[in-house]
Structure 1
Amino acid sequence: MPIHPLLAAAYPVVFLFASNAAEQVTLEPLWRPLALAVGATAVVFATGWLVLRDPWRAALLTTVGVIGFFGYGHAWNAASSVIDSQWPLIGAWVLVTLIGLVAAWKAGRFTRPLTRGLNLVAALALLLNAWSVAGIMVTFGAIDGTSGEELTDVELVPPDPGDLPDVYYIVLDRYAGSTALDETYDFDNEPFLTALEERGFEVARRAHSNYIKTPLSFASSLNMEMLDSDALKAEATDGTDRKPIHHVLRDHLAVPSALKEIGYQFLQVANWWAPTSTYADTDRVFRYAGQDEFSTVLEQTTLLRAFNEPETASREPFDIKVIYENVRYTLDTLDEIPGIPGPKFVFA
């Protein structure tokens, strides 16, 4: 039975996820693009089968198309350091794909031996990457749900348990301080800060984050303690290994745990960035329905990249429109959340 088109469609999705598993804390970003890739391929394969009345030839043609579709972005990443426009690569890629389709069409008596070989190779490649993903997710506790870290002792005693105020922790990532805005961009942010103070906000004008990276700051602030740098270094394989800090974010965190113990519900307006897309203690997640980070990066490895930016050599994997829509969704959601009954800890 020719199943290699479906395996070939699943492979690039699982391969990319496995290659970037250290950036993930759950399997959730994998399912939607995987289902879309396999489902679309199944439709193409079934259509070819019905039209040609030959499942083996239809499968070969479909697999060539799958390789052409999912391989283009990787080819462009390799070629972008040599050429500035995608048009030469697009022409060459179309030609190579057409040659592959013609070869598949004329395979004749070789279709069945090719089918057996492709089934085996695609299955092995997929299983190896799936095994890699499973191993990393078990390490994070995303599959078996284990939690290993002890929480910081945080005991909250509200003055009036029956009148708990909502708590909002809103992170404006990379929002510059007034000094940096003035010196670097010649922008005066004082009217905005003054307006906040007039509304009763405390503005810590000389405040700065404890860490240069967002996940480090989150892990520290949500656990109300400085990070154990020695322990993180011991767990990391090298200086670029983010798995240890992502493991901390995946575990139960002191602040939401303490607030939930006194009656708060933990509401999260999720970010498009995978490690902060969900937390262990979250009661309800509000998430923009558009593309997430993993899906956006995956799209840039496919032929869709040729339609997005044929004239440019940009290697930026994130779609600024997706980020914009996500931010708009976050602001709209924050405007609606006060209407939810009960005390709330809102993290956005």
Structure 2
Amino acid sequence: LVAISLINIGIYQVKTLNVMPETTNESPTSSDLKDSDNLPDIYYIILDMYARQDILKEIHDYDNSEFIDYLTSKGFYVATRSRSNYLITILSMASSLNMEYINYLSDTLGTESADPAIPFEMIRNNKVSQFLKSKGYSYVFISGGFEGPGIRSTCAEIYTNQSRFGFSMFSSSLFQMTPLRLIVEQLTVVDRRTQILYGFDALANLPKYKEPMFVYAHIMCPH
């Protein structure tokens, strides 16, 4: 059963090579961002499925105002009526990290497609990191274990993925088709906890680096 699944996966990977979008190393231009020795660090932290304040109150009867008030007191802008562009994480991240809507993928893959290959590739080699690297930034990618096979970005100078057992969504799904699934399910819970805590620790340690950084951190919590 596993051998058949692996063969099917291999066939799928070959087929997806023919539909991958063309990529370019050209970065967007901007007259506002200048090369400087004092570039500020940029942190893009995804707390996956963290709902906005009014939704937390309406659905879970949880008052998150203390945290929101803390952020505003520190000068953060809080979008109180924000909405995700897409219902699925990989589509939202592929969109935001490339500064574009990606509705056009339905023309390439079909409206019923659940193929994640192109969105994953768009995350892996995204335009935001390429643009900021051209301006002198180092790209730091803190993975939360959500990403599929091969998602490690070729653009990132620093990549962290503190998976104790090496499970990704891909490998976990593969093990679900074997008698080992019950053991893997228990190990995955431990692995997820390790990755979440490590992600926060990694963020806390980054300020010691001197060079300007663009940090993309995907924390799989409270998902």
1:283 aligns with 2:157: yes
Query: Could you tell me whether the CA contact under 8 Å between 2:145 and 2:163 is conserved in 1?
Result: no
Unaligned segments of structure 1, at least 5 residues:
1-10, 22-129, 142-146, 309-315
Instruction: Kindly name which structure, 1 or 2, has the bigger radius of gyration based on alpha carbons.
Output: 1
The equivalent residue for 1:108 is: none
**Structure 2 CA distance for aligned equivalents of residues 317 and 148 of structure 1:** 40
In the superposition, the TM-score normalised over structure 1's length comes to 0.54
Query: Could you tell me whether the CA contact under 8 Å between 1:224 and 1:254 is conserved in 2?
Result: yes
Distance change >3 Å, CA 220–CA 318, structure 1 → 2 = farther
**Structure 2 CA distance for aligned equivalents of residues 193 and 206 of structure 1:** 13
**Structure 2 CA distance for aligned equivalents of residues 196 and 268 of structure 1:** 24
Give the counterpart of 2:170 among 285, 294, 297: 294
The equivalent residue for 2:220 is: none
**Structure 1 CA distance for aligned equivalents of residues 92 and 114 of structure 2:** 16
Query: Could you tell me whether the CA contact under 8 Å between 1:154 and 1:255 is conserved in 2?
Result: no
The equivalent residue for 1:265 is: 138
| Equivalent pairs, count | 212
The equivalent residue for 1:246 is: 120
**Structure 1 CA distance for aligned equivalents of residues 182 and 90 of structure 2:** 33
Q: CA deviation at 1:212?
A: 1.6
The equivalent residue for 1:181 is: 56
Query: Could you tell me whether the CA contact under 8 Å between 1:236 and 1:244 is conserved in 2?
Result: no
Q: What is the aligned-residue identity percentage?
A: 28
1:256 aligns with 2:135: no
- Deviation string, structure 1 residues 181-210 (Cα, Å, up to 9, x no partner): 101111000011101111222211112222
Give the counterpart of 2:96 among 206, 213, 221: 221
- Deviation string, structure 1 residues 52-88 (Cα, Å, up to 9, x no partner): xxxxxxxxxxxxxxxxxxxxxxxxxxxxxxxxxxxxx
Distance change >3 Å, CA 139–CA 285, structure 1 → 2 = farther
The equivalent residue for 1:196 is: 71
Question: Where is the helix percentage greater, Structure 1 or Structure 2?
Answer: 1
Q: CA deviation at 1:343?
A: 0.5
Query: Could you tell me whether the CA contact under 8 Å between 1:260 and 1:266 is conserved in 2?
Result: yes
**Structure 2 CA distance for aligned equivalents of residues 293 and 301 of structure 1:** 13
- Which residue type is aligned with residue 281 of structure 1? C
In the superposition, the TM-score normalised over structure 2's length comes to 0.80
1:135 aligns with 2:10: no
Distance change >3 Å, CA 238–CA 206, structure 1 → 2 = closer
Question: Where is the strand percentage greater, Structure 1 or Structure 2?
Answer: 2
Which structure 1 residue ranges, 4+ long, deviate > 6 Å from structure 2?
Answer: none
Out of 218-227 and 264-273, give the one that drifted further: 218-227
The alignment partner of 1:170 has SS state of: strand
1:331 aligns with 2:193: no
Distance change >3 Å, CA 194–CA 298, structure 1 → 2 = same
Out of 165-174 and 335-344, give the one that drifted further: 335-344
The equivalent residue for 2:221 is: none
- Which residue type is aligned with residue 192 of structure 1? F
- Which residue type is aligned with residue 249 of structure 1? I
**Structure 2 CA distance for aligned equivalents of residues 140 and 15 of structure 1:** 24
Q: CA deviation at 1:306?
A: 4.8
The alignment partner of 2:47 has SS state of: coil
Distance change >3 Å, CA 264–CA 307, structure 1 → 2 = closer
- Which residue type is aligned with residue 153 of structure 1? P
1:171 aligns with 2:40: no
**Structure 1 CA distance for aligned equivalents of residues 43 and 65 of structure 2:** 23
